[in-house]
Structure 1
Amino acid sequence: MDWATIYADVQQNYLFYLSIPVVAAILGYVTKIAAVKMMFYPMKFVGIPPFFGWQGIVPRNALRMASIAVDTITTKLVSVNEVVSKLDSERLGKELEGPAMEVIETIIREVMSKHQPRLWESLPNFAQKKLIDRVKKDVPGVIASVMEDIKGNIDEILDLKALVIRILMKDKHLLNRIFQEVGREEFKFFGVSGLYFGFMIGVVQMVLWVLLKEPWILPVFGFLVGFISDWIALNILFEPKKPIPFGSYTIQGLFLKRQQKVAADYAKIIARDILTPQTIIGEMVAGPLSERVQKMVDERVREMVDSKASIVKPFVVMAVGAESFQRMKQDTSEMLMARLADVIMHAETYVQTSLDIENVVGKKMQAMTPLEFEGLLRPVFKQEEWILIMTGAILGGLVGEGQLMVMIKLGII
């Protein structure tokens, strides 16, 4: 084809030719947005299992993704001992003195009414009050003692890794949100980069088409737009790992360059949605390992009841019966255990301030090496990176084929 023919062809079809890089840019953008959406949605498998359909990469690999997040949290950011060591047992006892007093009074009345209703009702109000007040005096000490027992045996009581995995497996939307928040700016760049890379490749595609008029050019370049732009964008996010000075600029993977900001965002999610006072306290007193705490509470309650009975204990046992006396202590312990989480939550502000999870996690994340920090987001892409890239490439090829069909329809070729 001579230059005169090419010039005449361009004059006649210039609008269509100019649309080629524009379509390539749109294609690059759409394939990137599709790739990002495919990472997180749909939450459940849509299609004909097991092969024909799709489920978001993160929800489909929820256990693995949760384990990655947990390994980061429990090995690099927060340790079990660090969580509880900051709690002052005596201070906590004083913080809980008011609500604990109310609870113990209710428990005493319930236990006495259940096991010795006649004896309890026969006591005048001042006698009931005196008994309750004697027990109340020891409540802050009992709570402080239980907390010391918990701190001394925390590894047997609080499995932080299991707790976080259970939370994230139960709430996959939260798991999605962790990665979405951490990579918010990177996902935006991933989409916008498709416009630029797509347009640049589209210009080459247009020039080759004008010169060669080969039918394979459009679908092949459409495939390349999807493939190359995905591959380049992914690498720009994470490479190079270490900053490289380049004149007045510093070249580094975009995600790694945002380490300080990402650390702050990640720490907020951990502190506000995962390692909250409610979840930590709830795990200790009502989680899978809470039997150990029950035994601690039981021991301290028995000590308290026996100390209050002291020299009159034989007479108390004789009056109510040995078996009934033991059941009373057991019921007191179980009732206190059942209400313990609610009681401790009255000190939520103190617990939250003392643990200071957000500040601790944020500072440790900011001090991570680039390789460690990359591990926060890279697994989302790495898990099935080839699927995302090939999906973009295939979509690009199909659009290129569509462009070819339009040209044939319009009689351009």
Structure 2
Amino acid sequence: MGRVSTWPAVAAVSLALASAAAATSRPLVLTHTRTLTADTDTDGDGNDTEWWWYLLIPCFSAVVGWITNVIALQMTFYPIEFFPSCMQWSQIPGQPISYFVIAGWQGIIPSKADKMARIVTELMTSSLIDVREVFSKLDPCVMAEEMREGLEPAIYRILEDVANAEMKSAWVMTPQHVKQEMCMAAAERIEDFIVGFVQELQTNIY
């Protein structure tokens, strides 16, 4: 989360440095080149410039290129959520920018995560994986045994949620020992339920 919150500052500083380097490199090189040319050009043909000044060109280019690459990578993956969040309403669906262009930014990859996930899922389920075949290899009894341990502690909570949603008044008046007996009965039949659920899933999977 730290990188998400600090990326605007990193991008702004990097962009400022890149702009400053690009803006000052050429005048600086030209100024010093002309100065040296005037000082060292003895025959007036303009060809006596110190050769090492030309090395500044790739050096400045490397600095500017490195900074812009850092900015590009940061803006590809960060921020995860649209920044600033107060302008999220203006974001173009599926795009990293807003309708106001400079009003905010979301990383290119995060902004297209939904589209990418749908494409990958469709590709895997239609071309790479036979979903029916995968589910047909599941053993309902093994699934029930594996899931029982995790479901048993949640039986009372599930039963209470369903009862409160469907018949709240009756559930409130039900004695506690009756509720516990209902939970015990549900726990005894949970494996049968899971087996039936997996079998039905295997039959109706598309």
TM-score when normalising by structure 1 = 0.26
More helix by share: 1
Greater RCO structure (CA 8 Å; 6+ sep) = 1
